[in-house]
Amino acid sequence: MPTDYYGALGLRRDATPEEIKKAYRRLARELHPDVNPDPHAQDRFKAVTAAYEVLSDPQKRQIVDLGGDPLSQSGGGAGAGGAFGFGGLGDIMDAFFGGGATSRGPRSRIRQGADALIQVELDLEEMAFGSTQELTLDTAVRCETCTGTGTAPGTHPETCATCHGRGEISSVQRSFLGQVMTSRPCPRCGATGQVIAHPCPTCAGEGRVRRRRTTSVKIPAGVEDAMRIRLSGQGEVGPGGGPPGDLYVEVVEREHPVFSREGDDLHCRVTLPMTLAALGTTLSLDTLDGPEDIVIRPGTQPNHVVPLRARGVPHLRGTGRGDLLVHVEVTTPTRLDGEQERLMRELAGLRGEERSNGRPEGGLFSRLREAFQGR
């Protein structure tokens, strides 16, 4: 059976990494051989240390959660190579002091800048066929006075007198484990190992200033609403005059008075009186490519769709274009004068439509009628 590593630390299976570390610290204080010479406590200390090594490692913990035992798979154990003996205190140092006396060295003052985001509103025609847009934005740019160094002209950063350029301060503490050296970032220089005694009067030592600038972006043909275009290296300049991040241009489509868009297809609606729908006609429609004639065939019904091939939006990736779909709506007059009503009744008589039979088309009644007529 796999070892119950959660049980060894007295934890639930959904314990957080911080709860795992706290449980190990508490048990290590109670069971360490320097504190508790009981042989049973020594065995428990080995089990607790093994449990902490497994559960503090995300990959090993995943094996445990899947029902396996990472130590048995690797052939390790409480006595394998002294990994859980009293001589290996690396895990204890990490748990108590966050890495012990490991030196990290000074941190660079020059850091990568953040990304920036700006929205640009475009008409349907600009999104369909592409365009070049001039953008005005406020971002951090490299300070021209100090060229990003953050120091006043003629001066240079000085070595921090507190940490002597190491970027961290070391101290020795006594614990039940003996003397332990710990390190923490230097508060004076911010772990950089350098201080700016004479900061630049323009940027106050930041190496960057905020400024309004303009740039251009090329909008490719066929972009859609909410798409983002990435401009590499045109974002915020980093602290210390560090390299800039990226600029993302988010496209926002303005509502068109005639066309609506679905993917690369365009839709619009035209309204015809019933007389033109019955007789047929030709309409002129202003498309994205200019005026175009649309033939309405005689007898066109409501909600009929007339497709205009390749009159939609160009495909963003690849060749070709979408279609323009014209939806036809037919209106019926609500008021007729005397002459119009007479002509309508005459037309109804010629077509045999003076009166409706009132019977629904299709369904059960239609099938029964057809069945009786077939006898």
Render pLDDT for 312-360 as a digit per residue (tens, 0 to 9). 999 998 899 999 999 999 999 999 999 999 999 999 999 888 776 655 5
Same domain, residue pair 278 and 294: yes
Residue 124 lies inside a defined structural domain of this protein: yes
- Taking 3-state DSSP, the helix, strand and coil percentages for the chain, each rounded to the nearest 5, stand at 25, 30, 45
Strand-pair partners of 272 = 330
Other C-beta atoms lying within 10 Å of the C-beta of residue 104: 12
Same domain, 320 and 345: no
pLDDT for 58: 86
What is the residue range of 299's domain?
Answer: 260-331
Whether residues 210 and 234 share a domain: the answer is yes
Distance separating alpha carbons of residues 115 and 29, to the nearest angstrom = 46
pLDDT surpassing 90 at residue 373: no
What integer pLDDT is reported at residue 356 of this predicted model? 65
Residues 274, 280: contact at Cβ < 8 Å?
A: no
What average pLDDT score do residues 223-234 get? 93
Whole-number percent of the chain with pLDDT over 90: 57
- CA atoms of 168 and 193, how far apart (whole Å): 8
The one-character DSSP state at 1 is -
Query: Which residue type occupies 300?
Result: T
Among 207, 238, 255, where does a domain finish? 255
Q: Is residue 235 part of a domain?
A: yes
Question: pLDDT tier at 245 (50, 70, 90 boundaries)?
Answer: very high
Quick check: helix, strand or coil at residue 83?
A: coil
- Region 370-375: mean pLDDT is 50
Distance (Å, whole) CA 157 – CA 151: 7
- Cα separations in angstroms, 22 against 1, 15, 40, 95, 158: 27, 11, 22, 8, 41
Whether 307 shows a pLDDT value over 60: the answer reads: yes
- Closest C-alpha to 215, from 140, 116, 137: 137
Determine the pLDDT at residue 85: 36
Average pLDDT over residues 156-169: 91
Nearest-10 crossing angle of helices 39-55, 17-31: 160
Q: Of 15-19, 40-44, 230-234, which range is least confident?
A: 40-44
Which residues lie closer than 8 Å to 39 by C-beta, 6 or more apart? none
Burial of 196 (0-12, 13-18, 19+ CB in 10 A): buried
Clarify whether residues 302 and 325 are in a common domain.
Answer: yes
First to last CA, the chain: 81
Residue 330, Cβ neighbours under 10 Å: how many? 17
Calculate what percentage of the chain has a pLDDT beyond 70. 82
Q: Are residues 121 and 244 in the same domain?
A: yes
Domain closes at, from 149, 170, 195: 195
* pLDDT value at 241 more than 70: yes
In angstroms, the CA 63 to CA 220 distance is: 48
Q: In terms of domains, do 122 and 91 share one?
A: no
What does the pLDDT look like over 71-115, one tens digit per residue?
764 433 333 333 333 333 444 444 454 444 444 678 888 989 999
The domain that holds 276 is classified in CATH as 2.60.260.20
Residue 122's SS3 state is: strand
Task: Quote the pLDDT of residue 362.
Answer: 55
Whole-angstrom Cα distance, residue 219 to residue 134? 11
Asked if residue 276 and residue 145 are part of one domain, the reply reads no
User: In this predicted structure, what is the pLDDT of residue 70?
Assistant: 79
**C-beta of residue 2 within 8 angstroms of C-beta of residue 8:** no
Read off the pLDDT band of 178 (50, 70, 90).
Answer: low
Q: What is the pLDDT of residues 33-57, one digit of tens each?
A: 767 778 788 888 888 888 888 898 8
Has residue 102 been placed in a domain? no
Q: Which residue has the tokens 């037309």?
A: 347
Predicted confidence at residue 361, as pLDDT, reads 56
User: Quick check: 236 pLDDT over 60?
Assistant: yes
Total tally of structural domains belonging to the chain: 5
Q: What is the pLDDT of residue 59?
A: 83
From 217, 240, 255, give the residue that closes a domain.
Answer: 255
Q: Say whether both 37 and 51 belong to one domain.
A: yes
pLDDT at 222: 96
Output the pLDDT for position 91: 47
Instruction: Give the CA angle between residues 178, 181, 186 to the nearest 5°.
Output: 155
Whether the Cβ atoms of residue 322 and residue 266 lie closer than 8 Å to each other? yes
From the list 322, 297, 290, the residue with the least C-alpha distance to 308 is: 322
Least confident of 21-25, 135-139, 233-237: 21-25
